Every structure is written in C-alpha cells, then in structure tokens.
Chain A
Amino acid sequence: MVRVTRRYRFSASHRLHSPQLSGEENRRIYGKCNYPFGHGHNYEIEISVRGPVDPETGLAVNPALLDQLVTERIVRPFDHRDLNTEVPELSEFVPTTENLGRVIRQRLEERWKDTFAGPWPALDTVRIRETDRNIFEVD
C-alpha cells in the first residue's frame, strides 16, 4: 500500500465574515480577512490517495483519472472565482480554509465511485496551502 499525492492550484477570492457576529467582532476575529471587498489567494491543494500498487501497471492510481476528477470538481469551478458567492456549498458558511477543505473533500467523495469503480484507491487526505505559511489538512 502506498500513498500518492498530487498537487493542483487555483486562484480565488474570499472574505471572512460571519453573519452571526457583530461588525466589531468580525473585525476582531478575522482582521484583514474581514475587509469588506474580500481578497484572494493562490491556493494549492494536495490530494493524497492510498491503495495497493497494481502489479500490472506499477501504479496505485491512474493520475489521468484523478486529474480529471479534481479538475472538473474543484479547479474549474473554483479558479478565478469568488468563493463566498460562486461556490454554492460555501454560501452558508464562512469560507475559511477549514470549511473550504471540507467542501473539497465532499465534492471529491460525491464522484469518487464514478471515477474509481473498484475498492482502491481510497481518498486519504486533502491538504490546502492557502499561503506557504497557512496549511490545512482534512482527513
């Protein structure tokens, strides 16, 4: 069994603001991330899958299939978009990278079996680098 990780990129904007908090609380908690017009990041997402190595191919995952799934479900709908308003699942949540990680995982899981019919590979970890210094992992 090995774990294979592939990295993808998209650039998107967001604003952290919770309707359940006052304006002052939002500014205190989110700081610059609460500025009213939002801001953007070059997100890097690392998708780790695990599975046995197929003795015929030497592969644990066909990278072309993973690329297709991640491109269709994540990169194309998120790239150069506003996460607050253009990703339906995030419209009810503050688009923190924690919540973004959950949405990415859900989006991949919803179509996983259509892409990979057998028991393997399994989705292992979704890791998002919002910046080089802020990294989030969802198991």
Chain B
Amino acid sequence: MRITKKVEFSASHVCRNPRLSDEENQRLFGASANPRGHGHNYVIEVTLEGEPDPVTGMVFDLKDLKDLLQRQVLDPFDHRFLNHEAPPFDRVIPTAENLAIEIWRRVEPQVLNGRARLFAIRVSETPDLFVDYFGENAWSA
C-alpha cells in the first residue's frame, strides 16, 4: 500500500553551470539560466510504501511525516535562494532532478521504521513540469 503526503515551499534558484559559457547555459537551461535567478512554488509529494500497522491501522503516522518534512525540507528550503542558502545547491545545480534526489537523501533515512519505506519523491516545479525519483535502484532490476 502506498501513502502520499504533499507539501509546498517557495524558493528561488538559477540553473547554470559555471564551467559552461553563457551561450551554452542559455541553450541548456533557457530562461532558467538568467543570472539573478527566479522562483517557483515547489510542490513536493512524498510517497511511502508499506503495510498498515495492525494496531494503529497506519502505514506511517502522517503527522510524523509532516514534521520530518518540515525539518528536512521546508525549514532549509522555504523562502530561500537555493543556490546561495541551501547546500548542496551552492555546488549542485538546483534543477528539479537534483532537488528530487536531494530530498530523497534527506527523507529516506527518516522513514525506515520497519513497516514503511520511501517509494517516490515527486518535485513539481510548475504544474506542467515535474520529476519523479524512485531511488538509486529504480529500473536497474
């Protein structure tokens, strides 16, 4: 069984690789490479997989999930300029892909309670662009 919790944060970012020319950056990232940055209302969906506890009927306590997302994701990212204020995005380009992987790294160790495991992180940069990450081992089987 899978359960999903959705949270939102707003942040600014700029997508550019300092090792590439302005032209290359523009070609790869388009307006996202504009040097002063821009922002999004990010929507994060965190999906856990597991069986409900026979006593509580819950796969995972959603209040606990909300609290850990607050600590691990919202506190460090909300209303921040990711490149300047939220490591590792001072050296990792804060694309939606890299955000999904980073959020997975932050959340995964916190949800291993024997009953549930992290199944997917979805990062929506806008309603029309989102990224799903299922962990390092997805599609390798």
Contact = CB atoms under 8 A, between A and B. Distances in A.
B95 A7 contact: no
A5 B130 contact: yes
A62 interface: yes
Interface residues of B, number: 28
For A56, A58, A60, A62, which residue has the most chain B Cβ atoms within 10 angstroms? A58
A53 B129 contact: no
Interface in B47-67: none
Interface stretch (B3-11, B70-78, B97-105, B107-115): B97-105
Contacts of A63: 30, 129
B17 A53 contact: no
Given A57-B17, A59-B95, A62-B28, A2 B129 contact: no
Given A1-B138, A63-B30, A64-B30, A7 B127 contact: yes
B97 A53 contact: yes
B28 A59 contact: yes
A102 interface: no
Interface string A1-25: 1111111100000000000000000
A12 B130 CA distance: 25
A60 B127 CA distance: 18
A11 to B, nearest CB: 16
B133 interface: yes
Nearest to B32: A63
A108 to B, nearest CB: 17
Size bracket of the A interface? 10 to 19
Interface in A10-57: 48, 50, 53, 56-57
B122 to A, nearest CB: 9
For B20, B28, B29, B138, which residue has the most chain A Cβ atoms within 10 angstroms? B28
A7 B124 CA distance: 11
B23 interface: no
A50 B120 CA distance: 14
Given A1-B138, A1-B139, A3-B131, A53 B30 contact: no
Contacts of A50: 139
Contact of A60 (B15, B93, B97, B130): B97
Nearest to B92: A58
B132 interface: yes
Which A-B residue pairs are the 9 nearest by beta carbons? A58-B93, A58-B95, A7-B128, A3-B132, A58-B98, A53-B97, A2-B133, A2-B97, A4-B131
